[in-house]
Chain A
Amino acid sequence: MTQEARVAVVSARAARMRHDIIEMIAEAGSGHPGGSLSAADIVATLYFGIMKHDPQRPGWPERDRFVLSKGHAAPVLYAALAQAGYFGRSHLQTLRKLGSILQGHPDCLKCDGVEVSTGSLGQGLAIANGMALALRLTGSTSRVFCLLGDGELQEGEVWEAAMFAAHHGLDTVTAIVDHNGLQIDGACSEVMCLGEVAEKLHAFGWEVREVDGHDVEALLAVLSSPPAVAGVPVAVVARTVKGRGVSFMEGDAGWHGKAPNAEQTKQALAELRESLAAADPEQLSDAPVTEGGDR
C-alpha cells in the first residue's frame, strides 16, 4: 500500500471512529467524549496503520500490544476494536450498560482485544513496561504502545515507569501522550502545570518525538520509525485538540466527561458525517487490519 493510501485508510477509520464515539456515548447517556475524540487519530493510526494484530486471534502471540492508560477514553478503543472486527458493532450500543462487554473503563476480562484493565490513571505505562520485559525474556520483538493523557502525567507512577523503561532499555515500548492541554477541572496549566512535557521525558531518558496528533501522515512516520539509538524508548508527544471533530466540544474542558443531549448529538453527528464523507469511504471496506508497520 502506498503511503498516500495508508493515510487515506487511517483517516477514514478515524472519521468513522469519531462518529461511533458520539453515537455510543449519546446512547449510554454518560462517558468521556473530549479525550476520546482527541485520541481518535492516534488510535486509528495504531490499529489501522502501525500495529500487527489479528481480530480473529486476540491472543496471537506475535501481535503488537496496546495499553490505553487513559482508560476513560474507552470509547475510542471500543470504536477501533469494533471496526477491526474484535466484536460485533451491535455491542457499541451497550456501552456502560449492565451486562455489557464494554464497561465504562476497559475490562480485559470482559472484552476481547483489551490487553489489560485500566481506568485508574497513571498505571498503564508500568504495565506496558512489564509486558515488554516479559516479551524480551521470551525473545519476542512485538512492540508495546501505551497511550497516556497529559493530565495523567500528574500521577507519580508515570515517572517511576518512565525511569524504569529507560533504565531497562525497553526500546520496544512507545509511550504516546495525548497532549490536549485540558483535564476535568480545566486547563492542565492552571490545575497543575505539567511544565515542558517533551523536555521532562527527554530528561528521563526517552527519545522524544513531537507531532501534530491529528496529522495522520506525521503520526504514521513517528510511530513506525525505530528508536534513533538502540535501547532508548520512544515517547511521542502528540499535540491534540480535546473534542476534535465536534465544533462545540473542541477545546472545552466541560466535555471531558459529559454526554451530549439529543440536540447536541444531532449536531455533532451531522458534523462528523461531513468529515466522514470527505474521507474516502471506499477505503473502509478492504482496509487491512493485520498488516504490520514498517518495522
Chain B
Amino acid sequence: MSDRRATREALGETLIELANEGIAVVAVDADLSGSTTTARFGTAFPERFFNVGIAEQNMIGVAAGLAVEGMVPFTGSFAVFATGRAYDQVRNSVCYSGLDVKLAPTHAGITVGPDGGSHQMLEDIALMRVLPGMRVLVPADYVAAKAAIRLAATTPGPFYVRLGRAGVPVLYGDDHRFELDRVRVLREGIHITLAACGVMVEQALVAAEQLALDGIHAEVLDVATIKPLDAQGIAASARKTGAVVTCEEHSVIGGLGSAVAEALGELAPVPLARIGVRDVFGTSGEPAELMAHFGLTGADIARAARRLLERR
C-alpha cells in the first residue's frame, strides 16, 4: 500500500496502449491535456489528439462527431467542466444519439485541493448517473483506472470514468480486470458493510482496521461501478451484516449513497449511513486537510459505523 499514484495518470498511458493494440481511440481535450495526461497520448499519436482550447461544449460535440464516424473518442478536461459546463452536450449530442463517447475527466472531488470549491466537482456522479445509457465508473486506484478505461474503450455506448488528481494507494494487482456490474469484496466481515468508491476505498479499509480493534468486523466493498449498480451484490452483503455505510468523495445527494439507498430500499432495507459531502461546496486546502474537514477520513467512517451499530 506504500505505492501511491493518481488515477488520472492512467489516462494517457492506457490510451497509448489501446491505440497500439489497434483500437480506434482518439482523445479530445480542452487546454488541460498536461493535467489530464492526454498530452502523453497526443505526443505518441499526434494525429489522433485534438485540443479544442478552452471550450468544453465543443470538446463534447467534436467527440460526438468522431464517434458518429466510428472512432472511440475519450474526452479530458476536469470533472467540473466536462460534466457541468457541457451537460447538455453530453445529454443531447452524446447520450441521446447513443454514441461511443467516453468521458474520462480528472480532478474530481475535494482532493483537487487548493484550487477550491469552484474546481472541486461533487455533483458529477449524480449528473452522469441520471442520463439514460450512461455507465458510471469510479475506479479506486491506478490499476483499476487503467482497467476502467480499457473496459470503456471496448464496450459500446457512452461512459463516464471519474478520475482524480491526488495519489491513492495501489490496491490491485496488474491482472485486475474491471467488471462492469460487480462489487468487489476487498475485506470480508459480518457486522457492518462499508460500501465505497474511488479514493474512499482507501479510507474504508482504514476504517475497517480501526473497527477490527474493537471486535467489529466490517465488510469492505469496492463499488467501482455506480451504474449499472450491482444491487444484488450490495443487498447480499447488507443481508449478511445488517447495516451499511456508504463512502464517497461526492455529495451525499445523488451519488453512491443515493444509489445504494435506492437499491437497499427495494431489496434489503437495513440501517444506512452516508459518508460524503453534505450539500455544501468545497473549499481551498490540502487534500488531507479537506478529507478531515469534510468528515471523509477512515476515522469518520469508523465513527459513523459505530453510531449505526448502536442505533440498530
Chain B residues, Cβ within 8 Å of A127: 61-62, 64-65, 68, 93
A108–B99 Cα gap in the complex (Å)? 10
A115 to B99, CA, bound (A): 11
Q: Which one, A118, A133, A156, contacts B62 given CB within 8 A?
A: A133
Contact B58 A109 (CB under 8 A): no
Find the A residue at minimum CB distance from B57.
A157
Contact partner, B47, options A115, A130, A137, Cβ 8 Å: A137
Interface residue SS majority, chain A: helix
Q: Tell me whether B88 and A120 are in contact (CB under 8 A).
A: yes
B239 is an interface residue with CB less than 8 A from chain A: no
Assess whether A129 is in contact with B62, with CB atoms less than 8 Å apart. Answer: yes
Q: Is A134 in contact with B52, judged by CB distance below 8 angstroms? A: no
A2 contacts the other chain (Cβ, under 8 Å)? no
Residues on A with C-beta less than 8 A from B67 are 130
How many A-B pairs fall under 8 Å by CB?
104
* Interface residue? A276 (CB, 8 A): no
Interface: A116 (CB within 8 A): yes
A161 contacts B58, C-beta separation under 8 Å: yes
Inside 8 A of B98's CB, which chain A residues have their CB? 109
Interface centre among A107, A117, A119 (most CB of B within 10 A): A117
Task: State the Cβ distance, B145 to closest chain A Cβ, in Å.
Answer: 25
A287 within 8 A of B: no
Tell me the nearest residue of chain A to B73, going by C-beta.
A130
Is the CB of B104 closer than 8 A to any CB of chain A?
A: no
Residues facing A in B80-128 (CB within 8 A) are 88-89, 91-93, 96-99
Q: How far is the CA of A127 from the CA of B73 in the complex (A)?
A: 12
Q: How far is the CA of A107 from the CA of B69 in the complex (A)?
A: 16
B50 contacts A by Cβ under 8 Å = yes
A127–B70 Cα distance when bound, in Å, is: 13
Name the distance in Å between B29's Cβ and chain A's nearest Cβ.
13
| B48 at the binding interface (Cβ < 8 Å) | yes
Least CB distance from A137 to B in Å reads: 7
A135 at the interface (CB under 8 A from B): yes
8 sample A-B contacts, Cβ–Cβ < 8 Å, listed by A number: A117-B97, A118-B92, A126-B62, A127-B61, A127-B68, A128-B65, A130-B28, A131-B69
Chain B residues packing against A (C-beta within 8 Å): 26, 28, 47-48, 50, 52-53, 55, 57-58, 60-71, 73, 88-89, 91-93, 96-99
Q: A109-B98, A125-B61 are in contact. List 18 more A-B contacts (CB 8 A).
A: A107-B96, A116-B65, A117-B97, A119-B92, A126-B61, A126-B65, A126-B93, A127-B62, A127-B65, A127-B68, A130-B66, A134-B26, A134-B66, A137-B26, A157-B55, A157-B61, A160-B58, A164-B58
